Amino acid sequence: MAVFRLMYSWVYFFVVLTLAGVAFSRHQISDISYQVRAAQEADRIIELPGQPQVSFKQYSGYVTVNESHGRALFYWFFEATESPENKPLLLWLNGGPGCSSIGYGAAEELGPFLSQKGKPELKFNKNAWNKAANLLFLEAPVGVGFSYTNTSSDIKELGDEITATDSYTFLVNWFKRFPQYKSHDFYISGESYAGHYVPQLSEVIFDKNMHVPKKEYINFKGFMIGNALMDDETDQKGMVDYAWDHAVISDHLYDEIKLECNFSNENTTDACDTAIGKYFDVYKIIDMYSLYAPTCFDNATSSTRKFTGIRGIAPRLFSKQKGWHQKPAGYDPCLSEYTEVYLNRPDVQKALHANVTKMSYPWTHCSDTITFWKEAPASMLPVIRKLVNGGIRVWVFSGDTDGRIPVTSTRLTLKKLGLKTVQDWSPWYSSHEVGGWTVEYEGLMFVTVRGAGHQVPTFKPKQALQLVKHFLANKKLPSTPS
């Protein structure tokens, strides 16, 4: 009996200590939550106009990245559909430069709510990427979408470097607002000019993590980029090769471009400009971003209309042509028109906590205010090589019907990167069908997505979700039908 009483006393003492510890832990969480709860709740979206009912939470708003200049970047964040506390955090970036991750990525590609034709409501995306991760979209740099600066001269200073720096500052400050995600594995993904944005931001995080205090350390694990601008020489050569190989341009024009243009040199000649101009003329009548998709004929502001050209961006030769500066289209070629109507509604902007500065211009997919880009490296390969060598997980994917940054360009670029091939050209499967092909390099995975255009999640949503799930899990895509 004495032994039993002694054991009971120890058990009682242990339970009391445990409960006290839990209470203390809850008290700490409560303290932390109290400090950030107001900021989080201010950004909480209760419900968007026309939004389908969901169980996960969403937030949007502004994070200041430069107090003295009044620079603030706009974000939209979706918790994972299930167990957000156990899922990684994924940041998605669109490119342009000057184009919106909210308009393209969130509303037309991989977000949980997609815009649609002829209805003021949003539709639910059953292949949304927040099934795999907590999903964060960012409009960067300032001047893009709802992001703004109170210092007008900032717009003239924009370039790759300031975009990476401001995006990093955004992340540091965003984690202060949402500290519950600070310990989660963090990944970045994006497409097109995000072939610059993503590796550059990754490099900043990688370098900063070497010496920042623990409170600013980001648990960065890897990045994935699609149909990505990575190297001027191979991107441009691959575009021409792809156009010829897919019966878009004639033998004569192909030979003329090869004769007159040197893609390793940013200086051009009149003869080269003329030849490239003929090349872009073809893409006035078909969709460069998806060779076999229809074009939009709804109205004069169709998806093929030009947007403001930006001087100084990569690639050096092609970006000087007006034909380079046009908006991409989705599977529904008029999809972007529906998105712009929705995001310019006052009730939608109010629900998103957006346009707080009452911009003098409407929200657009791609900025009309950014006309000059201060600097853009001709190649991202040194950065990618550095990060691969640093143990960062890197996947590159490519929709194979895209003419803008085609699979041919990406293959030439990765060959130039010079990594050892571990497993060569192998099919991967989505259910019973071939989803595309993979090449496993030492430290990098290359994946093609069969039948997808420039915006892979728009054209092949099921396969895109499968792709990101395998990337986040660091697992090879299935090599046999299921």
* Active-site annotation, residues: 192, 402, 454
- DSSP element (H, E) containing 167: helix 160-177
- The per-residue DSSP string of 431-459 comes to TTEEEEEEEEETTEEEEEETT--SSHHHH
- Residue 49's contacts (CB-CB under 8 Å, 6 or more residues apart) are 120, 121, 345, 347, 348, 351
- Hey, is 233 helix, strand or coil? helix
Distances (CA, A) of 238 to 402, 419, 432, 467: 11, 19, 31, 24
Cβ contact 318:301 at 8 Å: no
Type of residue numbered 404: R
- Residue 416's contacts (CB-CB under 8 Å, 6 or more residues apart) are 231, 233, 234, 381
Nearest to 314 by CA among 441, 159, 202: 159
| Peptide linkage before 141 cis (omega within 30 of 0) | yes
Structure tokens at 134: 């907590």
Cβ contact 263:413 at 8 Å: no
